[in-house]
Amino acid sequence: MTTEAPRDGATPPRGFATEQIHAGDIRDSAHGARVAPIHMSAGFAFDSVEQARERFAGEVDDGYVYTRYGNPTIAAVERKLAALEGGVDAIAVASGQAAVTVALLGLLQAGDHLLSARSIYEGSRGLFRDNFTRLGIEVSFVDDDADLDAWRAAIRPSTRALFGESIPNPRNNLLDIAAIADIAHERGVPLVIDSTLATPYLLRPIEYGADVVVHSTSKFLAGHGASLGGVVIYGADALADPVFARRTVASRLGPTPSPLNTFLLQQGIETLSLRMERHSSNAQQIAEWLEAQPEIVSVDYAGLPSHPQHDLAVRTLPRGAGSVFSFTFSAGFEAARIFIESVELFTHMSHLGDVRSLIQHPASTSHVQLTEEERVAAGILPGTVRVSVGIEDVADLIRDLELAITAVRSAAPAVPDAAAPHAAFAS
């Protein structure tokens, strides 16, 4: 995981930090601009009818027609992301949701079955449930995604894709990608992994057998929290056709990113390794600090030895376990509410992977549409809080959390004694 595969027999492998800056780079031949310029143009002029024909026929690699089919700024970030994931092709799109859609509609049609982990991002679950089913695609979920027999048993003759996330949010119940890829491949079915929370710096799913990797680049890959984006990346031996996904799915449905947004994404990726190191080490220290607080019953961070999948994290996430995780107050909703409303440096908002530290209450936000039972099954209790730890000085972040826990403590008499972590929230 520390070095890139050689690009040819003669070239020694380059490290990740070098590749995040140089991979995919093509020097601008018109003016020598060192950074890939923002080509903000809907279309591209032709020199001749023959050239127009060649470009429309797809006979030339670097000839552009119209930005929905391809654009030099977008192509630069696609080359970079394919290289960083160890893939051979990448399709940049306008959001993470669009990436999940393009990846899966490139594999599925009416009558097919999609088998997904239940632990996935709620937006993706809603996409499958509310949209894919309307297109005639059957979807089912594996409740306990650590149970390999449950995956095996749920595959049907019509199953055409398996889907899951490398680091699920908010409980970090890591997917054993290598084991699930084996199960998928026994049946000739591709495995699609949403690796948004890991990024290629922490984990490269293709190396573990995944066929297709998707990201919401709105998160860590961009890092600045300024723009949305998504990407679909294909491995060399993927049981999936990137040309079909690009030409027939992405170009026809049209979730084209703005060249401005892919330029901003490119600026973010150039510092990815530095940010992910700091995100992970800050998160590790904060998770350890939270675990030592008597008001907190559990901290779901895979970097902690107390986490049920810590061994898998040690094996597959040697550079750190990322920065998004949850923890639960024993006193339930009131404690979580006071805590969230008392922090000053953490921002209370719905996003993750930002350089800024963020905090939110999953039961009343991302998971509000679930029934109480579904929330409890997913480990989202009224006292559960999610953080996305940023790259600020960790001492300042811990001071902010100390302030908030002091507020929880001083309100303790108001919290009923009998309240358990399950205590319903007062809404």
Ligand X SMILES: *Cc1c(COP(=O)(O)O)cnc(C)c1O
Cβ proximity to ligand X: between 94 and 154 the closer is 94
Q: Which of 159, 218, 258, 384 binds ligand X (CB under 6 A)?
A: 218
Return d(Cα 223, Cα 348) in angstroms, integer: 17
Is residue 211 within the footprint of ligand X (CB under 6 A)?
Answer: no
Q: Report which DSSP code applies to 89.
A: E
Considering only residues 122 through 151, tell me which ones interact with ligand X, judged by CB under 6 A.
123-124
Segment interacting with ligand X (CB under 6 A) among 90-98, 104-112, 126-134, 367-375: 90-98
Select which of 176, 194, 300, 354 is catalytic.
194
Is residue 227 within the footprint of ligand X (CB under 6 A)?
Answer: no
Is residue 230 within the footprint of ligand X (CB under 6 A)?
Answer: yes
Q: Is residue 145 within 8 Å of 118, Cβ to Cβ?
A: yes
Q: Token pair for residue 299?
A: 């901290």
Cβ proximity to ligand X: between 193 and 331 the closer is 193
Is residue 219 within the footprint of ligand X (CB under 6 A)?
Answer: yes
Select which of 219, 278, 337, 386 is catalytic.
219
Count of residues in contact with ligand X, rule CB under 6 A: 17
Reply yes or no on whether 80 is catalytic: no
Cβ proximity to ligand X: between 200 and 421 the closer is 200
Cβ proximity to ligand X: between 172 and 342 the closer is 172
Is residue 112 within the footprint of ligand X (CB under 6 A)?
Answer: no
Reply yes or no on whether 68 is catalytic: yes
Segment interacting with ligand X (CB under 6 A) among 120-128, 177-185, 200-208, 366-374: 120-128
Cβ proximity to ligand X: between 218 and 342 the closer is 218
Cβ proximity to ligand X: between 127 and 381 the closer is 127
In angstroms, give the least distance from the CB of 376 to ligand X: 22
DSSP per-residue letters across 290-316: HHT-TTEEEEE-TTSTTSTTHHHHHHH
Residue 2 CA, chain-centre distance (Å), reads 21
In angstroms, give the least distance from the CB of 378 to ligand X: 14
Residues sharing a CB contact under 8 Å with residue 308, sequence separation 6 or more, in sequence order: 146, 173
Cβ proximity to ligand X: between 166 and 342 the closer is 166
Is residue 408 within the footprint of ligand X (CB under 6 A)?
Answer: no
Residues sharing a CB contact under 8 Å with residue 147, sequence separation 6 or more, in sequence order: none
Return d(Cα 61, Cα 198) in angstroms, integer: 31
Return d(Cα 72, Cα 40) in angstroms, integer: 10
Q: Which of 16, 121, 301, 329 binds ligand X (CB under 6 A)?
A: 121
In degrees and rounded to multiples of 5, residue 3 shows phi and psi of -130, 160
What x/- string results for residues 329 through 358 when contact with ligand X is judged by CB under 6 A? -----------------------x------
Q: Round the CA-based radius of gyration of the chain to a whole number and report it.
A: 22
Is residue 85 within the footprint of ligand X (CB under 6 A)?
Answer: no
Select which of 80, 89, 112, 121 is catalytic.
121
Residues sharing a CB contact under 8 Å with residue 366, sequence separation 6 or more, in sequence order: 122, 350, 360, 386
Cβ proximity to ligand X: between 92 and 340 the closer is 92
Is residue 194 within the footprint of ligand X (CB under 6 A)?
Answer: yes
Is residue 96 within the footprint of ligand X (CB under 6 A)?
Answer: yes
Q: Token pair for residue 411?
A: 């309100």
Q: Token pair for residue 77?
A: 């970030």
In degrees and rounded to multiples of 5, residue 163 shows phi and psi of -140, 140
Is residue 205 within the footprint of ligand X (CB under 6 A)?
Answer: no
Q: Which of 95, 256, 266, 284 binds ligand X (CB under 6 A)?
A: 95
- Which residue in this structure is represented by tokens 């810590």? 310
Q: What angle do CA 126, 127, 128 make, to 5 degrees?
A: 90
Is residue 101 within the footprint of ligand X (CB under 6 A)?
Answer: no
Is residue 165 within the footprint of ligand X (CB under 6 A)?
Answer: yes
Handedness of CA 410, 414, 420, 421 (dihedral sign): negative
347, β-bridge pairs: 358
Within 205-305, residue ranges assigned H as helices are: 242-244, 251-253, 259-269, 272-291
Select which of 14, 28, 68, 356 is catalytic.
68
With 0-12 / 13-18 / 19 or more C-beta atoms within 10 angstroms meaning exposed / middle / buried, residue 267 is middle
* Catalytic residue list: 68, 121, 194, 219
Which stretches of the chain bind ligand X, using CB under 6 A?
A: 95-97, 121, 123-124, 165, 169, 194, 196-197, 216, 218-219, 228, 230, 352
